[in-house]
Amino acid sequence: SVTQVIIRHSMVSGILIAQLIFYCVPANYLTNEAMAISDAIYSSNWYSHYFSTLTKPILLMIQNSQREITITAGGIIIMNARTVLNVLKVAWSACTVIKGIK
Question: What does the pLDDT look like over 48-98, one tens digit per residue?
Answer: 777 778 778 888 887 877 776 666 777 777 766 677 778 778 887 887 888
Spatial neighbors of 73 by CB under 8 A, at least 6 apart, are 23, 79
Q: What is the pLDDT of residue 69?
A: 66
Element (DSSP H or E) covering residue 85? helix 81-101
Residue 71 phi, psi (nearest 5): -110, 125
Q: How many beta carbons lie within 10 A of that of residue 4, not counting itself?
A: 8
pLDDT above 70 (res 11): yes
pLDDT tens digits, residue range 13-51? 888 778 777 777 777 787 778 778 778 877 877 777 777
Q: What residue type is assigned to position 43 of the chain?
A: S
Q: How far apart are alpha carbons 80 and 47 in whole angstroms?
A: 34
User: In this structure, are residues 44 and 65 in contact, taking their beta carbons and an 8 Å threshold?
Assistant: no
